[in-house]
A and B are shown apart, each in its own frame.
Chain A
Amino acid sequence: SQTIHQWPATLVQPVGSPLSLECTVEGTSNPNLYWYRQAAGRGLQLLFYSVGIGQISSEVPQNLSASRPQDRQFILSSKKLLLSDSGFYLCAWKIGGSYGYTFGSGTRLTVV
């Protein structure tokens, strides 16, 4: 079956520290992968998406970067976190056809 894993579930990090969030999918090959962020009380903002290994499209210039080192692995990183990086980070993949997108369970990041 097709599943998406995202970890950790919660994270508290000091300002200026690095960040690495990982997302992996199972049961499919060559998926389109996406990173979204949802700030408190706000809508989902698309940060990055990838259509294949090593390919990254950035939607919003900011303090974050993404990488796709393997077909089913998508990583969100930052060298130095800002307070404004706090939020709920969601990984998603596009199944295609009439099945929409599937989202991971999310990481709640609080930068203190």
Chain B
Amino acid sequence: DTGVSQDPRHKITKRGQNVTFRCDPISEHNRLYWYRQTLGQGPEFLTYFQNEAQLEKSRLLSDRFSAERPKGSFSTLEIQRTEQGDSAMYLCASSLGGAYNEQFFGPGTRLTVL
């Protein structure tokens, strides 16, 4: 247990539905990251927060995706109008920042879109 929690751990939804995932980082970490991982691939960066500010979004994050981190604590990732191609593991990580980029990952949320 790294101290980063994600909820739910598994989500099955039908195409076209909206889904929302939650990430609770380690409390003193000011940086929070979302990654997506498909089968056989390494995690791919989606977006990054420093405190409550979303500082970058990957081109992988289409306009159907939105992430928030109100008050710089937990974060949510919402996918609207899900597509089968959205099926993946969604990973959240947090870090203290600073010179070294040691990120602590949560267990992930596995999304299956039918």
Q: Do A and B bind each other?
A: no
The chain A residues found within 8 Å of chain B, CB to CB, are: none
